[in-house]
Structure 1
Amino acid sequence: MTLTGEAQYLDLLSRVWRNGAERADRTGTGTRALFGEMLKFDLSDGTVPLLTTKRVFWKSAVKELIWFLSGDSSIRPLVEQGVHIWTDWPLDAYRRATGDAISRDAFEARIIADDEFAARWGDLGPVYGVQWRRWPRYAANEDGSYRADTPVDQISELVHGLKHNPASRRHIFTGWNVPELHRMALPPCHMTYQYFVADGRLSGILYQRSCDLGLGFPFNIFEAALLIRMLAQQCGYEPGTLTWMGADCHVYLNHEHLVTEQLSRAPHPFPRLSFARQPADLFSYALEDVIIEGYDPHPHIAAPVAV
């Protein structure tokens, strides 16, 4: 029997926990992992893959996607909106560098209040949004040296291509900029997106090199579906399917309670997504534009983030 919807995610979560190879990882936490998995979600009926076997804070996910699309690299706009999902990495860097055992709340308060502190400790480097909107480009000088040129806005080029050359096989953007990986607080996990137009419907693939199935996946898959819906609205298409391709699909060893509890719960139907308006462009969406109806999740399951 072919699994669909949330059931296929739960099956993957179970298989990784039961059969995954136990491996060391950079965080020192340890994981169980399988390599090379694929899931498919039908978006054509207006639903979105927002997991129901635990509550997903979808408003934070919307804010994160809008932040990505802005091209920003500072956590300040996020923490100003009460979104904490990127704070752990700069907070850890600050604690290691200074020896100051500052709390997360105090750290975020300084990020908001102190421009100099935010510039020094709140910047994540050239992460997702920077690469999506401002991929560095260089031009050659006459003496053979290079100078910075106008950066590449991959997202604007994607929108233009979907509108004006829908049959192209080059509707792709990526965050995996090799020379800049060392400057990123975290190299991109959801790294490459590709889109396909047929019969008036827009479908997409997300290739994810590394996926934390417990904490990261619920945000990753919802945001990928939301982005398809936003692109479809902007480019005049209906939504099609979302294909998710995971390379290193893992569960952290200290997430056993999450896996056990989540697998004990029966999934509910996915909710429906609609928009309150059609913004002027892809970069003008706000949280209030996204309407989620019929979301009936089980309670949230807390679990630690591995930094």
Structure 2
Amino acid sequence: MAFITPAADRTAPDHFEWQYLDLMHRIWTAGDERHDRTGVGTRSLFGETLRFDLADGAMPLITTKRVFWKTATRELLWFLTGETNIRPLVQQGVAIWTDWPLARYRRETAHDITKDDFVSRIIDDVEFARRWGDLGPVYGRQWVNWPSFVATGDGLYRKGEGINQIAKLVEGLRKDPYGRRHILEGWNVAELDAMALPPCHKTYQFHVAAGRLNSLLSQRSCDVALGLPFNLWSAALLQRMIAAQVGLKPGIFMWVGGDTHLYLNHDRLVEEQLRRQPDGHPRLTINSEVDDIFAYSLQDFTVHDYAPQPQITAPVAV
């Protein structure tokens, strides 16, 4: 299979996207083939890193296939509401979280409902959505409503007020920008078993230097073909939003992957994408009038200079 790998064959060898394509190539050609939870099988590497400079509005938006950045943005904004039910997402036409509750519904009811019919019932029937659309305490719950417990003085504890990590993060960066505790955590060990899917992009750390906000995302598990393009966009977008709220310029975004893998049934996607050359330098502008991290809407984000190559589809492993 002929892939574009040597630097001499690249029309723009310094393009930010080559590090993503090189990672995909390394996994596909040298990754350890493994059995996995889904039964599909993967090729995997461990401890991979990517690095992007977000100066001048730059964003790590993949160009060798279409990435639906508006869908990824709607998901991020949904996280910031603290919501864990898919109903607000599917009402916007976003079905990226639907496979997990659908699989649970089919398993527990033995009703082989189609995905389209399931989504329609989630939208039309509030009680059905409440029963079958909830994902458990996933990202949004941990980000803005991490559970706390307060000692009652008799050896017992009562449930306390939820901790809004996002609000504390913004406040901390404003008051103590050079602190070393600017962390957003999703890996709540006590609640993992109640989640439809434990956090993949789990820990974010922020760092200020020379008036720029840098961030590092640690991701425990990464589907490089389908998930990582969304993860890169969303994490960089969160960094940009926070930078705007604390009066800093966007700096370096670093991504660290634990189990970094490609599914074996993504062969057509991988081989097609590795024949393509990246092109263009997508930029993002954010509405500067929004003064609350929780007040953004999709209309506050504008992407420039994004002309991606055609979409490549592949199945999601659940």
> TM-score band, normalised by the shorter chain?
over 0.9
Structure 1 position 46, deviation (Å): 1.3
Selected match of 2:63 from 52, 56, 61: 52
Corresponding position of 1:168: 179
Are the aligned partners of 1:233 and 1:278 in contact in 2 as well (CA < 8 Å)?
A: no
1:234/1:278 contact within 8 Å kept = no
Cα shift at 1:270: 2.7
| Secondary structure at 1:283 match in 2 | coil
Gaps of 5+ in 1: none
Q: In 1, distance between residues paired with 2:43 and 2:108?
A: 31
Matching of residue 84 in structure 1 with residue 95 in structure 2: yes
Q: In the alignment, residue 199 of structure 1 is paired with which amino acid? A: A
Equivalences for residues 114-193 of structure 1 within 5 A: 114-193=125-204
Which residue pairs with 1:210 in the alignment? Answer: 221
Q: For 1:180 and 1:297, how far apart are their aligned partners in 2?
A: 39
**Correspondence for 1:61:** 72
2:4 paired residue number: none
Runs of 4 or more, structure 1, over 3 Å off, are 1-4
Equivalent in 237, 241, 263 of residue 252 of structure 1: 263
Greater displacement, 109-118 / 177-186:
109-118
Tell me whether 293-302 or 134-143 shows the greater mean CA deviation: 134-143
**1:49-98: CA deviation from partner (whole Å, max 9, x where unpaired):** 00001000110011000001111100001000000100000000000111
Look up the match of 2:10. none
Identity of aligned residues (%): 58
Tell me what 1:231 maps to: 242
CA contact (8 A) 1:31 1:252 kept: yes
RMSD, aligned α-carbons: 1.1
| Equivalent residues, number | 307
SS in structure 2 opposite 1:108? helix
**TM-superposed deviation, 1:28:** 0.3
SS at match of 1:191: strand
SS at match of 1:136: coil
Q: Which amino acid aligns with 1:31?
A: T
Q: Distance in 1 between matches of 2:100 and 2:14?
A: 36
Which residue of the partner structure matches residue 314 of structure 2?
A: 303
**AA in 1 matched with 2:242:** L
- The 3-state SS of whatever aligns with 1:37 is strand
Q: Which stretch has the larger CA shift, 140-149 or 73-82?
A: 140-149
Map Cα deviations across residues 134-182 of structure 1 (whole Å, 9 max, x no partner).
1000011222111100111100000000111000000001100001000
Q: Could you tell me whether the CA contact under 8 Å between 2:15 and 2:278 is conserved in 1?
A: no
Partner residue in 2 for 1:42? 53
SS state at 2:147 partner: strand
Question: SS of the residue aligned with 2:113?
Answer: coil
Mapped pair 1:94 → 2:91:
no
Do residues 17 (structure 1) and 28 (structure 2) align?
yes
Given that 1:32 and 1:252 are in contact with CA atoms closer than 8 Å, whether structure 2 keeps it comes out as yes
Q: Do the aligned residues in 1 keep the contact of 2:142 with 2:188 (CA within 8 Å)?
A: yes
In structure 1, how many angstroms separate the alpha carbons of the residues matched to 2:218 and 2:296? 24
Secondary structure at the residue paired with 1:144?
A: coil
1:261-301 per-residue CA deviation (whole Å, 9 max, x = no partner) reads: 00000001230100234313000100010000110111000
Q: CA deviation at 1:198?
A: 1.0
Report the CA distance between 1:116 and its aligned residue.
Answer: 1.1
* Alignment partners' CA distance in 1, 2:121 and 2:314: 26
Q: What TM-score results when the alignment is normalised by the length of structure 2? A: 0.95
Indicate conservation of the 8 Å contact 2:86/2:133, yes or no: yes
Amino acid in the other structure paired with 2:239: I
Q: Which ranges in structure 2 are unaligned for 5 or more consecutive residues?
A: 1-6, 8-12
Asked if structure 1 preserves the Cα contact closer than 8 Å seen for 2:244 and 2:288, the reply is no
Q: Is the partner of 1:45 in helix, strand or coil?
A: helix
* Alpha-carbon separation, structure 2, partners of 1:167 and 1:280: 22
| Change over 3 Å in CA distance of 1:149–1:181 after alignment to 2 | same
The residue type equivalent to 1:178 in the other structure is V
3-state DSSP class of the match of 1:192? strand
C-alpha distance in structure 2 between counterparts of 1:306 and 1:71, whole Å: 25
